[in-house]
Structure 1
Amino acid sequence: MKIWNEIWDYVKMIIIVVIVVLIVNNVILINAKIPSESMEQTIMTGDRIFGFRMAYGINFDFFGKHISKKMKDPERYDIIIFKFPDDESQLFIKRLIGLPGETVEIKDGKVYIDGEYRPEANDYCPETPTGNYGPYTVPENSYFMMGDNREYSRDSRFWNNTFVSFDEIVGKAVIRYYPSITLLK
């Protein structure tokens, strides 16, 4: 009888650990490995990051049911992890450039928002961006995303579904933990 009590204690402990891990992984944190060069020099290919799923509120799928409650708006230049609008089975990571209601245009690689040149939008780029894109008018509850490595990033400029809706946001990238620990800005 004593052995069964001991086994039951181990089973309970394993169940509790599994439940805690599921909650942390599906509600609080997202662990991701960066697969491409689209965010270099900020985040390099192969880096591992943690994102905070609740940075903007509650937004997750739980046993097939989508739960979403916005508590805070994403801010310009946040690094966001989201479901790719053209294929929601893939997660992407990009920098938020355009907010709802704004018009984003890229002229000679320079970002203009509502007709005003925004030099800080290119501060994250490892080289001088080129090209002309837009204008794109960002719908309500949606965002325009670009990679920091603009010459090698497939971002809002190239997608069939140009904008990321709030419901597609998974979290905000907050820390790179491999190969070194760095807070992401």
Structure 2
Amino acid sequence: MENENVNLTESTEVTEANSDKNKKKPINWKKEIISWAIIVVIAFVLAIFITEVVIMKAEIVSGSMMPALTKDDHVIGNRLAYLFSDPQRGDVIFFEYPKSYKELYEIDPELTYCKDPDLGDTKACYHQNSEVYVKRIIGLPGEKIVIKGGLVYINDAEVPLDEPYLRNKPKGDFGPFYVPEDCYFCMGDNRNGSNDARYWENDIDNPTDPDYDPDRFRYVHKDKIYAKAALKTPPDMHWVEHYRYENEPTK
């Protein structure tokens, strides 16, 4: 009988101990709120870092880069692509339109999509009052560019630049253009429907001014390159092709 009482007491103590373990501790709401606040802040900082330092998103608003990029395409660019290397011929880049664009905002400074009636070109805006173009690099710093019958000749080469990414046969004669140091000569793949370096002239200053430079806005400075186009987002998701020329133009 005495053993039964001992066992009963031990059983009761074990049950009570298990019951204490199963009891839920009260939630410390202050601690929970602080923890979630820290997570939200970290996520926000990471998002800002990624979008401002690592990648750039742009929407194509015309067909001047067809067939590589078409109207309404959404493209992600790599902002770090040229951190340790220089842009190459054939790269598709996001850059600031070389020509002064203050006049584009005189009517409506709150424009979200930059549409200038005199340009009608591939332009993408990643935030208000900032105009971004998407083009392919054709001419490198120090090169001479001449376009004859739509074909590009670099440094007086006898053979024109091979451009298999062009859908239609380009037209027109342009140049010569002399690309300055740290600058690039850029054109659209839809050569007959692209407003690019062939047409970017200084047309807002007085041509009679002795300091007038007709090529002031023609070339893209390396510092104005925002990113290298990398990926088209769904539904037509694929990597953006950056053409590499087997035989670089020579004299």
Structure-2-length-normalised TM-score: 0.66
Equivalent of residue 170 in structure 2, options 108, 129, 134: 129
Q: CA deviation at 1:178?
A: 2.7
Q: CA deviation at 1:181?
A: 1.7
Equivalence for 1:68: none
In the alignment, residue 182 of structure 2 is paired with which amino acid? Answer: N
Equivalence for 2:97: 84
Tell me the SS of whatever aligns to 2:233.
strand
Equivalent of residue 143 in structure 1, options 178, 184, 200: 184
1:52 aligns with 2:107: no
Contact persistence 1:53–1:172 (CA under 8 A): yes
In the alignment, residue 155 of structure 1 is paired with which amino acid? Answer: D
Equivalence for 2:146: 105
Unaligned runs of 5+ in 2: 1-26, 102-129, 202-216, 242-251
In the alignment, residue 77 of structure 2 is paired with which amino acid? Answer: G
Equivalence for 2:110: none
Q: CA deviation at 1:14?
A: 1.1
Superposition misfits of 4+ residues, deviation over 4 angstroms: none
The total of aligned residue pairs comes to 171
Tell me the SS of whatever aligns to 1:90.
strand
Alignment of 1:145-160 (within 5 A): 145-160=186-201
In the alignment, residue 7 of structure 1 is paired with which amino acid? Answer: I
Contact persistence 2:154–2:161 (CA under 8 A): no
1:75 aligns with 2:88: yes
In the alignment, residue 219 of structure 2 is paired with which amino acid? Answer: F
**Greater strand share, 1 or 2?**
1
Q: Distance in 1 between matches of 2:155 and 2:73?
A: 34
Contact persistence 1:174–1:184 (CA under 8 A): yes
Equivalence for 1:30: 56
Q: Distance in 2 between matches of 1:87 and 1:6?
A: 51
Contact persistence 1:48–1:179 (CA under 8 A): no
Structure with greater Cα Rg: 2
Structure-1-length-normalised TM-score: 0.88
Contact persistence 1:94–1:145 (CA under 8 A): yes
Equivalence for 1:17: 43
Tell me the SS of whatever aligns to 2:51.
helix
Q: Distance in 2 between matches of 1:75 and 1:20?
A: 30
In the alignment, residue 112 of structure 1 is paired with which amino acid? Answer: Y
Q: CA deviation at 1:87?
A: 4.1
Unaligned runs of 5+ in 1: 58-70
Q: Distance in 2 between matches of 1:178 and 1:163?
A: 32
